[in-house]
Chains A and B, each alone.
Chain A
Amino acid sequence: MAGAGGGGCPAGGNDLQWCFSQVKGAIDEDVAEADIISTVEFNYSGDLLATGDKGGRVVIFQREQENKSHPHSRGEYNVYSTFQSHEPEFDYLKSLEIEEKINKIRWLPQQNAAHFLLSTNDKTIKLWKISERDKRAEGYNLKDEDGRLRDPFRITALRVPILKPMDLMVEASPRRIFANAHTYHINSISVNSDHETYLSADDLRINLWHLEITDRSFNIVDIKPANMEELTEVITAAEFHPHQCNVFVYSSSKGTIRLCDMRSSALCDRHSKFFEEPEDPSSRSFFSEIISSISDVKFSHSGRYMMTRDYLSVKVWDLNMENRPVETHQVHEYLRSKLCSLYENDCIFDKFECCWNGPDSAIMTGSYNNFFRMFDRNTRRDVTLEASRENSKPRASLKPRRVCPGGKRKKDEISVDSLDFNKKILHTAWHPTDNIIAVAATNNLYIFQDKVN
């Protein structure tokens, strides 16, 4: 059944059944703009899951330890810490409002008991430390337990504060603020595998930062033409290679990807690899350029491949082959006939992200109508699933959805015309090792797991 109906997404070889685990966020129909989730990211171990929203908040969920007393709660994610990362600002010089919306979150590899993450809005990147505290000091010399001041002349002995255990407290503190380096809107941040630097990319430039230095960054890519009227493309995403600290890629609005090697020179304006698929002249249309713009680029965990998402498809590239992708998966090909109306309602400019599973055998990306897609790279099977509250009983299996590409609609199929384009899944994340996925649907975060064996 799995194959025929596309009933399960086979990730890692065996067909696997996804089931509902949790949903976070309000149920209300009218959604506050500030509550819309704008980024989702697991940390390196997968024990923490961070979301950022348009209100500038970061919410961190922690996976509960497998508990003996609740054998059924298989590592659910619960709120660990919530904090306001960015506030709305106003640039008085340019008369521009700077939104507080969190564009990206990236975790740092864990370096001590605390956790660190970078969060960014359009202009400013912040390094946050999330740390735990379970002791507090007690006892003062100049006041007693209930806070009353003591007579300073009646002190007969010195008291050193004593540490007492207390309820666990999670603190988020801003450690560094990396500001004033971007003229345009930051679309990506990526931590280098050398653990001491990271890059930030805006529409025209990529900067390289040292994590401990906030007053200086190096510009490593600058595609701004001398005359802005000659501008033909912008940087849409950038990412460091997971293992090779000198390699990074950036994608452009023209559907191309450039790979740069920081070893060869300090300025990486000249790429060392250029990935581009020749355009099929037969499918050329008014929208060709818009839909070929790459909205996300992600290296596989192995570092051998990278994946790019454009409006209608997701492509997997072998880093050793520049002239065409090794795989192209159609995400919602049925929208090709709808491009005109998608252009009119601006949906065509939606920036869908994509992600790999732990062993790089499957990929996931979002679509409309709260649908998201998974592709198994080995079996070439794919499935469309829906993030919805309707079937949100714990451990209920997700039913595969099918969209009727036109013509006669079969039973259980949804017609293209009834898709809700306001419900879009732009941000998804896959646990680094387990089959757990986090799917952001507007203001709700859905967590799905594979069916327990």
Chain B
Amino acid sequence: MAGAAGPGTGSGAAGGDGDDSLYPIAVLIDELRNEDVQLRLNSIKKLSTIALALGVERTRTELLPFLTDTIYDEDEVLLALAEQLGNFTGLVGGPDFAHCLLTPSGICHLGHEILAVLQKSCLQPPLESLATVEETVVRDKAVESLRQISQEHTPLALEAHFVPLVKRLASGDWFTSRTSACGLFSVCYPRASNAVKAEIRQHFRSLCSDDTPMVRRAAASKLGEFAKVLELDSVKSEIVPLFTNLASDEQDSVRLLAVEACVSIAQLLSQDDLEVLVMPTLRQAAEDKSWRVRYMVADKFSELQKAVGPKITQNDLIPAFQNLLKDCEAEVRAAAAHKVKELCENLPSEGRETIIMNQVLPYIKCPEVRLNIISNLDCVNEVIGIRQLSQSLLPAIVELAEDAKWRVRLAIIEYMPLLAGQLGVEFFDEKLNSLCMAWLVDHVYAIREAATNNLMKLVQKFGTEWAQNTIVPKVLVMANDPNYLHRMTTLFCINVLSEACGQEITTKQMLPIVLKMAGDQVANVRFNVAKSLQKIGPILDTDALQEEVKPVLQKLGQDEDMDVKYFAQEAISVLALA
């Protein structure tokens, strides 16, 4: 029985007659093969406990070979296994154990280092087989663990065991193993000798032109990462041609991944090299026939912008961006629109204004994007002069103010006080005042309500004198409107404006109108008069209250309409006029 040998070696394993301590481990080992997935999963998650109990030698010679064949299991078990194995180095032994270890092949006389190599290499078979399973999550986890383990290898061990594993995977028959290999090049390259480096590059090259699109995609997605660990000369002489090839791959699913690689490669090259080596490809990608590739350019735009620097951005990326903003595919336009803000933020302060004004804004057609810009006006204001921006935004604002969707109109109203503050009273009167008044007679109540609140905020900004001259007359005119809804708007406006305008204006200009409306033929107007009087009462002086308000409220208190009566009596009691 193989098990009997374990305790006898004195390798630190639990052994002897310690029945109690062995039992839980025995259960864990047996449950590695339980029919219930959950129990198997639990056991796998306690693999370190099992390995600790078995000791390093039995872990290497018995547990790992068994685990290598576990690849028939469910994905979640495999995923847990791949993860566990990443942290297993200590559990299969370290150089310290060398002198007392006896491996089956009897190589105890080997030096520490070699032995350590052997110990680490035995981790690879299970991970190597996990790197070939069809399930991407499992494969990725196995690759992640392999990358982790590679860091624990000495350079010697790396070349003796890790690099051969990468090569095996890279030249495997099945594309799953080749896709996994793509993620391992960058971790072994920096520490390999020059001869091995050349081999690694060669392997990577061949994967970039693999027959299977899956592999080319994996290579394309790791191209940037690999480029980062390469010498600059190799980047120029080898990575760039690979990049160019992948970016013109027949499958758009490959081409779009090259865009991502472009970001990393661009960071490594000088401006001159960039222009010659990368830009032609990037320009081509921005105009690719496939919308998915153009989408990727739009999606990665900020990263690209940062990577290529201000000069190329201005000369190449901005024109490309204009095209993306008016792309024929909605998905591309949407992706580009999301990047407008970041794009503007990342522009160099010098000349930023001109670029935004002349090269970005005119191309933004989508109302949501414009709205987004307008909503960020206060921060954009720090970037460029608001006046200038407003000039170009004004048509957009007017357009949005009349948008068929009331939610869009609502959104723009909410930015009005902000805009007013930024633009100043003169500009506002000239351009926006009429819009604000038009909203008061909108056919959607929510808009009318927002418009009245907007008026209050404007008065707070521009002062009572302005209100008296521009707003109040227009509001009061509506009291004679044939539409009772508009007449009510006058009352709502007075409700919110009275406080901002103060006693004088309220008493002299607003109160007469309110009182006059007490004789309105529509009951809704009349009870709103009562409500308004209750609202503006505290602002008025006692004379006005007693002589003008009280009689009207008393009259309303006798109204034939129940609601009018109710609100009039409420006002009388609140204003203490009884």
Contacts and interface: CB of A to CB of B under 8 A. Distances in A.
Interface of A: 109-114, 116, 129, 131, 133, 135, 137, 140-143, 152-163, 171, 175, 193-196, 212, 243-246, 262-266
A243 B176 CA distance: 20
B285 to A, nearest CB: 13
B62 A133 contact: no
Contact of A113 (B29, B62, B174, B252): B174
B578 interface: no
B3 interface: yes
Contact of B329 (A157, A163, A246, A265): A265
Interface in B241-259: 250-253
B541 interface: no
A140 B134 CA distance: 30
Q: Tell me which of A140, A160, A195 has the highest count of chain B C-beta atoms within 10 A of its own C-beta.
A: A160
B29 A212 contact: no
Given A142-B30, A265-B328, A159 B53 contact: no
Contacts of B345: none
A116 B289 CA distance: 32
Nearest to B63: A160
A226 B66 CA distance: 60
Contacts of B314: none
A137 B290 contact: no
25 contacts: A110-B174, A111-B174, A112-B177, A131-B72, A135-B69, A141-B27, A142-B26, A153-B23, A155-B19, A157-B6, A157-B15, A158-B53, A158-B54, A159-B3, A160-B58, A161-B33, A171-B72, A194-B251, A196-B253, A244-B250, A245-B213, A265-B291, A265-B328, A265-B329, A266-B329
Given A158-B29, A160-B58, 9 more contacts: A137-B66, A154-B19, A156-B19, A157-B1, A157-B15, A163-B66, A194-B214, A263-B292, A265-B328
Main secondary structure of the interface of A (DSSP, over half): loop
B66 A158 contact: no
Contact of B66 (A111, A157, A161): A161
Interface in B132-150: 132-134, 136
B212 interface: yes
Nearest to A116: B134
Contacts of A154: 19
A161 B7 CA distance: 16
A15 to B, nearest CB: 34
Interface string B206-243: 00000011100100000000000000000000000000
B19 A160 contact: no
A155 B176 contact: no
Interface string B17-34: 101101101110110110
A160 B23 contact: no
A137 B72 CA distance: 12
A290 B343 CA distance: 57
Interface string B161-178: 000000000000011110
B404 interface: no
A162 B174 contact: no
A113 B291 CA distance: 35
B65 interface: yes
B2 interface: yes
A240 B76 CA distance: 32
B54 A160 contact: yes
Interface residues of B, number: 56
Contact of B213 (A129, A131, A143, A193): A193
A112 B176 contact: yes
A139 to B, nearest CB: 8
Contact of A243 (B6, B250, B290): B250
Given A141-B26, A141-B27, A266-B291, A112 B134 contact: yes
A101 B69 CA distance: 36
Contacts of A243: 250
Interface in B452-485: none
B175 A156 contact: no
A160 B62 contact: yes
Give me the 8 closest cross-chain CB pairs, A-B, nearest first: A141-B26, A263-B290, A160-B62, A159-B3, A112-B174, A157-B3, A194-B253, A112-B176
Nearest to B212: A195
Contacts of A110: 174
A196 B253 CA distance: 9
B253 A245 contact: yes
A157 B4 contact: yes
B252 A263 contact: yes
B23 A152 contact: yes
Contacts of B72: 131, 133, 171
B290 A158 contact: no
Contact of B33 (A137, A262, A266): A137
B16 interface: yes
A387 to B, nearest CB: 36
A161 B33 CA distance: 9
A142 B24 CA distance: 10
B331 interface: yes
A194 B213 contact: yes
A152 B26 CA distance: 9
Contact of A155 (B26, B32, B250, B288): B26
A101 B241 CA distance: 51
Contacts of A266: 291, 329-331
A50 to B, nearest CB: 18
B572 to A, nearest CB: 59
A143 B15 CA distance: 19
A157 to B, nearest CB: 4
A155 B217 CA distance: 52
A175 B137 CA distance: 14
B63 to A, nearest CB: 5
A161 B212 contact: no
Contact of B133 (A112, A142, A155, A193): A112
Contacts of A245: 213, 251-253
